[in-house]
């Protein structure tokens, strides 16, 4: 079983799946391998509808969130698909397993005043203030994913045209606009570094090595606490905030899809939710009785 898992993960890496995705797949498959070992199941009888149902029931007991279960089902489906292609399995055990529907959750985002407070706190950090200001300004300016921002090189920022070249999911490149405020913050940050080279990482940690995804998450957590925001803030929160604010100010869905790097427009449509304040404004302007 372990050999199959490692071969499957190696195939994902060869297909340029993101390190975060591979890590998530590895975690789920390790859990499944431990489940099989605890029940002394062999690789021949582990992948049956009954055993998969038992494993998923255990997952649901430890984490009842529907989307967590769905992610683990998707991982096991991909693994089973790999085994079927390689001839290690002859029957698909998922044929007899119904999948629960995905839970539709609205993205969590910050209001404009909260966003200003978060970025201002980052810009006044006790350490690395210029880097933090540039980092938060860029992420809010361009809606970058965690892996995208940590993967940026100095050469990826086009200061003349106001664009940043991003390597997104599936190793697909895209160009995203950058605000003048973010560009200036980046210039100020790069001016603090000794002769930064085009091929160097755009954002460095305290050791002078590239900022990692975990380091970025830690920075966001501490900055949110210092900002006295009464909510959990992650790098993805700022991406949601970017998308929500653009739509709220009149950006069309198709343009937003391009900037976010979504393959399908349906993925972008989750941001068509509006805040209560926006809803009230539209109502007050549109309803005849509200004007009386």
d(CA 171, CA 104): 27
239 is annotated as an active-site residue: yes
Residue 3 CA, chain-centre distance (Å), reads: 29
- Pick the catalytic residue: 145, 171, 206, 249? 145
- Pick the catalytic residue: 82, 140, 189, 271? 271
d(CA 240, CA 248): 12
Q: What are phi and psi of 149, to 5 degrees?
A: -70, -35
According to DSSP, the β-strands at 157-158 and 173-177 are unpaired
Structural element, H or E, at residue 164: strand 163-167
- Pick the catalytic residue: 165, 174, 193, 236? 236
271 is annotated as an active-site residue: yes
Close Cβ partners of 14 (under 8 Å, ≥ 6 residues apart): none
Structural element, H or E, at residue 165: strand 163-167
Which two three-digit tokens encode residue 203?
């954002």
145 is annotated as an active-site residue: yes
- Pick the catalytic residue: 117, 131, 146, 239? 239
Nearest to 148 by CA among 251, 242, 284, 76: 242
262 is annotated as an active-site residue: yes
Contact 45, 51 (CB under 8 A): yes
Q: Is 148 exposed, middle or buried (0-12, 13-18, 19+ CB in 10 A)?
A: buried
- Name the strands in the sheet holding 163-167, side by side, starting at the edge strand that comes first in the sequence: 157-158, 163-167, 173-177
Residue 262 CA, chain-centre distance (Å), reads: 12
Q: How far is CA 175 from CA 28, 54, 193, 254, 257, in A?
A: 33, 45, 25, 15, 12
- Pick the catalytic residue: 71, 165, 169, 193? 169
- DSSP code for 87: T
- Pick the catalytic residue: 131, 146, 245, 262? 262
User: Which residues are part of the catalytic machinery?
Assistant: 145, 169, 236, 239, 262, 271
């Amino acid at each position: 079983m372990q050999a199959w898992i490692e071969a499957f993960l190696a195939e994902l890496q060869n297909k340029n799946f993101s390190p975060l995705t591979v890590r998530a797949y590895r975690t789920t498959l390790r859990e499944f391998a431990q489940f099989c070992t605890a029940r002394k199941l062999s690789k021949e009888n582990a992948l049956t509808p009954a055993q998969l149902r038992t494993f998923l029931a255990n997952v649901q007991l430890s984490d009842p969130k529907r989307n967590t279960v769905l992610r683990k089902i998707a991982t096991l489906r991909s693994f089973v698909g790999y085994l079927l292609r390689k001839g290690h399995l002859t029957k698909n055990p998922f044929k007899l397993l119904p999948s629960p529907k995905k839970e539709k959750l609205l993205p969590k985002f910050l209001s404009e005043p909260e966003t200003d407070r978060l970025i201002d706190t980052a810009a006044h950090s006790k350490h690395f203030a210029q880097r933090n200001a540039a980092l938060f300004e860029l992420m809010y300016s361009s809606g970058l994913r965690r892996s995208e921002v940590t993967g940026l090189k100095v050469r990826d920022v086009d200061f003349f045209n106001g664009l940043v070249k991003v390597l997104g999911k599936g190793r697909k490149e895209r160009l995203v606009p950058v605000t003048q405020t973010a560009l200036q913050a980046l210039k100020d940050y790069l001016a603090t570094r000794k002769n930064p080279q085009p091929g160097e990482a755009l954002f460095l940690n305290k050791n002078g090595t590239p900022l990692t995804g975990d380091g970025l998450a830690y920075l966001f957590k501490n900055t949110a606490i210092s900002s006295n925001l009464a909510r959990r803030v992650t790098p993805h929160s700022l991406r949601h905030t970017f998308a929500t604010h653009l739509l709220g100010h009149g950006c069309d869905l198709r343009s937003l899809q391009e900037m976010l790097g979504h393959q399908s427009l349906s993925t972008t449509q989750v941001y068509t939710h509006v805040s209560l304040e926006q809803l009230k404004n539209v109502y007050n302007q549109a309803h005849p009785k509200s004007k009386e």
